[in-house]
Amino acid sequence: MYRLTALVTLLSLAFYFFTCINVSRSRTRTGVKAPAISGHPDFERAFRIQMNTLEWMPIFLPSLWLFAIYISDPIAAAIGAIWIIGRIAYFTGYSQAAAKRGPGFAIQGVAAIALWVGALGAVVMRLV
């Protein structure tokens, strides 16, 4: 069973859902009407946070699950939790200013790459 990885998956989806709600709230606060995606810096940062999270999920989620299946559920979940922490740091920093997004981006990027490299290595080892 992959209970811990399942939990991290659900938490990552909850965070993504939160970013979607944040964009909607930001539209209301800043007066940026749909379908516009620009017009106010606060809205544009909220939108980019959501979109960047979405852009990383196809890298993160399959890597998370393949790592859990081929290596370890607890280790995958721990690295996945670090990814979520990085996304939260990215959200917090980028919400304040674009220049503050770097540390969170680095944390989540390293976590995602660790999951991907681990999963790739484990799959390749089983092919040989």
What per-residue confidence (pLDDT) applies to 85? 98
Q: What is the pLDDT of residues 35-69, one digit of tens each?
A: 999 999 999 999 999 999 999 999 999 999 999 99
What per-residue confidence (pLDDT) applies to 32? 98
Helices (H), the chain: 3-30, 41-70, 73-96, 102-127
What per-residue confidence (pLDDT) applies to 30? 98
How much is the CA Rg of the chain, to the nearest whole Å?
A: 16
- Walk me through the domains of the chain, giving residue ranges and CATH numbers: 3-127 (1.20.120.550)
Q: What is the pLDDT of residues 71-114, one digit of tens each?
A: 999 999 999 999 999 999 999 999 999 999 999 999 999 999 99
Distance CA 29, CA 26 (A): 5
What's CA 3's distance to the chain center, in Å?
Answer: 19
pLDDT tier, 28 (very low <50, low <70, confident <90, very high otherwise): very high
What per-residue confidence (pLDDT) applies to 83? 99
Question: Residues 57, 81, 100, 25: is their CA dihedral positive or negative?
Answer: positive
Q: Would you tell me how many other CB atoms lie within 10 Å of the CB of residue 17? A: 11
Q: Would you tell me how many other CB atoms lie within 10 Å of the CB of residue 24? A: 12
Distance CA 25, CA 80 (A): 27
How many residues belong to the chain? Answer: 128
